[in-house]
Structure 1
């Protein structure tokens, strides 16, 4: 998350909103204290289409890939 002072956001609003539009969040500070977060709005997707989890990885290889390789080696 990018941090910027209120004055900086006010003076360079287009630049910061372009960042937010591209998916980055911006925390706005006034006198060094956070006062707001500007976050992107993502399109509403059904819950079954939202990807909230990361694949399980062990030693740099995904668990699903390990299972598939083991299945192929048995046959």
Structure 2
């Protein structure tokens, strides 16, 4: 991981982006505080975030709950 100031990034952006293409991570800081992280592109970035992915459907073997409730209603007390 490499850390550079914002000014250094502006001056050497092309070189730094080449390093990122080669797999290195670059942290950009301004006034000693990190403001950005450049990481190599990954196909993982194309996947949906976890909160947007479809949920897991849980099913249990046996009769459906609605069918069981209707059967119990019809049988009476």
Once superposed, what is the RMSD of the aligned Cα atoms? 1.0
- Which residue of the partner structure matches residue 33 of structure 1? 33
Pairs within 5 Å for 1:15-54:
15-44=15-44
Task: Number of aligned residue pairs: give it.
Answer: 44
1:7-58 deviation digits (Å, cap 9, x = unpaired): 00000001100000000000000011100100001235xxxxxxxxxxxxxx
2:72 corresponds to which residue? none
SS in 2 for 1:35: strand
Structure 2 residue aligned with 1:6: 6
Q: Mind listing any 5+ residue stretches in structure 1 that lack a counterpart?
A: 45-75
